[in-house]
Structure 1
Amino acid sequence: MRDIKFRAWDKKKKIWIPGAYGFHILGESMLIGGLFQDYKLLDLNNIVLMQFTGIKDKNGKEIYEGDIVEYEDCMRKFGKTKVRFYQYSWEPFAHMSKTHMPIKYEIIGNIHENSELLE
């Protein structure tokens, strides 16, 4: 079983919000914090939550929804794509057959700070 984790991006301030370990949605607000941290009440309209995929890249970094990953598959073709949850599974991981499963993923950025990487 994988860990259910989230991270949070503040669209207005353009910063990562520390402490997305625990959160509660309260109408149009989100109470965020936990694990020896003070709780903060934030405007939900300014927050983007991204879930951990349960997969780590070749450097051991956790891959979250919204990350941009570069990969090398078994046939030595390179590509890069945005990680997203689509039709009950994480892309790009679920749509590759076992024979073409990428052998190396590396996080090269995310859609909030490095969207130009997808151009």
Structure 2
Amino acid sequence: MSEYKFRAWYSSGTKELMLYEDYPGQVFKWLSEGQPLEIMQYTGLKDKRGVEIYKADLYREGDNLYKVVRMDEHAMYGLKVIKTNYVLIRGLTFPIWHYIGNAPLQTRGEIVGNIYENSALLNN
């Protein structure tokens, strides 16, 4: 059975915070009220430390840094290559299942933050 979990990045210009919600109804209520939210859905996967992976997370495997993205054309999640020593794959997106290790629904790398709270990682 799929787990439907969401988190939302709230930014009002004066206050920023990450909201976690196991029930999507509250998130959609905030949206209907016009709150400035960025919605991120749980992918159903965990990193090698057991941390849940959400859309917009930053994922590191070795020297490579990826951003978790939704691949709408394939109805799946993927990892977009942000930083790597391999120039030819920079900017490409690969299905997230390419990175699943031996444990079911667990990846080989680890979550190191997200694009909202850890944007400095994108610039290094």
Q: Does 1:31 align with 2:18?
A: no
What CA deviation, in whole Å up to 9, does each residue of 1:54-105 have, x standing for no partner? 1100110100001000014xxxxx311110102222112983598x645412
Q: Between Structure 1 and Structure 2, how many residues are aligned?
A: 100
Name whichever structure is richer in strand by fraction: 1
Computed over aligned residues only, the root mean square deviation of the Cα atoms, in angstroms, reads: 2.9
TM-score normalised by structure 2 residue count: 0.65
TM-score normalised by structure 1 residue count: 0.68
1:21, CA displacement in angstroms?
A: 2.0
Q: Which residue number corresponds to residue 35 of structure 1? A: none
Following TM superposition, the consecutive aligned residue runs of length 4 or more in structure 1 with deviations greater than 3 angstroms are 100-103
Percent of aligned positions with the same letter in both sequences?
Answer: 33
Which structure: larger Rg?
Answer: 1
Name whichever structure is richer in helix by fraction: 2
**Mean Cα deviation higher: 55-64 or 80-89:** 80-89
Q: 8 Å contact 1:81–1:118 — kept in the other structure?
A: no
Structure 2 unpaired stretches of 5+: 81-92, 102-107
Q: Does 1:83 align with 2:68?
A: yes
